[in-house]
Amino acid sequence: MNLPKKVIHFAWKAAKDMLASKEALRQRHIVVEDGCALCGAPTENILHILWFCAHAKEVWSSSKFSLPFEVGPNWSFLDVMVKLQRSEELRPGLMERFVFVCWGIWKERNVIRTRGRCKLGRITLKNAIGLMDEYQMTNEGPARPATVGPELRKVGLGVLIRDSAGNVITAMSWPLVGPLGALEMEAKAVEIGMRFALDVGIQDAVFESDALEIVNAIQGIVAPCSSILLIVEGIHQLACLFRSCCFSHTKRQGNIPAHILAQFSSSLVSYVAWLETCPSHIEQACFQDISVAPIS
């Protein structure tokens, strides 16, 4: 998604349920009066503020914006984002517009609460969309021509699982093809590696990736950019399935066998896995890797 950092940060907090809605404050045992101050609804959670509240409805109804699905009363912001991501192929850019307008509604809601004045819904909408267009023009140049379908990208994924002595337990080469950006593919690679590790019964794992941004996002050092938000969410859920699980960044030169496996996948149409044996084309690199940097 092509959005300013502050809007991405907003979306991240909304998806993690970290915005200060009254419901969230009560869950943190901070006493606040019940209900939505703007429309009097009994519960004020994030999706109420951004979608169901009379104020939000006024904003959305003043646009031609429509979601390709019905938002359920008990949904979270993350539920909406997951659905939107699935719709992205059919309605490219819809998620960006949705997030930007939500950010506008959130900002306006905070102004109303502190100053009591309220812009008309269509003004809030116009300001939010205007800021989005301005941002995208300055960060992207002229609008990209509409594409017929999503751009498919192929990246090679190499997964190598070794025991604490560095011996290869299992290895995999996977040609990953999808309508995803480079960063999303890197995040997806970690997720696939984790699933693979679970499939072969690994309980304690250290996952290494050469994508520093991904590792930092997983570790919570930086807010994940919105395009990988959901994948990082999935990675956190998968991490709970291990007895112990941590992530570390390694330079590509630091994991040559996995890099060879990734390159090897370019000649494949589907994935190949080696169980309890070291593929011959990485044997030498594995041996060198162990002698240079033993895993403790």
**Binding interface with Zn ion (CB under 5 A):** 36, 38-39, 41, 53
Give min distance, CB of 34 to Zn ion, in A.
12
CA atoms within 13 A on the CB side of 288: 11
Give min distance, CB of 175 to Zn ion, in A.
49
- Of 160, 194, 161, residue with least CA distance to 265: 160
Q: Which is nearer to Zn ion, 55 or 188 (CB)?
A: 55
SS (H, E, C) 45-81: CHHHHHHHCHHHHHHHHCCCCCCCCCCCCCCCHHHHH
Q: What are phi and psi of 157, to 5 degrees?
A: -120, 130
Mapped onto helix, strand or coil, the DSSP state of residue 194 is helix
Give min distance, CB of 55 to Zn ion, in A.
6
Q: Which is nearer to Zn ion, 11 or 38 (CB)?
A: 38
- Of 296, 232, 227, 212, residue with least CA distance to 3: 227
Give min distance, CB of 242 to Zn ion, in A.
41
Query: In 10 A of CB 227, how many CB atoms?
Result: 20
Give min distance, CB of 47 to Zn ion, in A.
11
User: Is residue 50 within 8 Å of 80, Cβ to Cβ?
Assistant: no
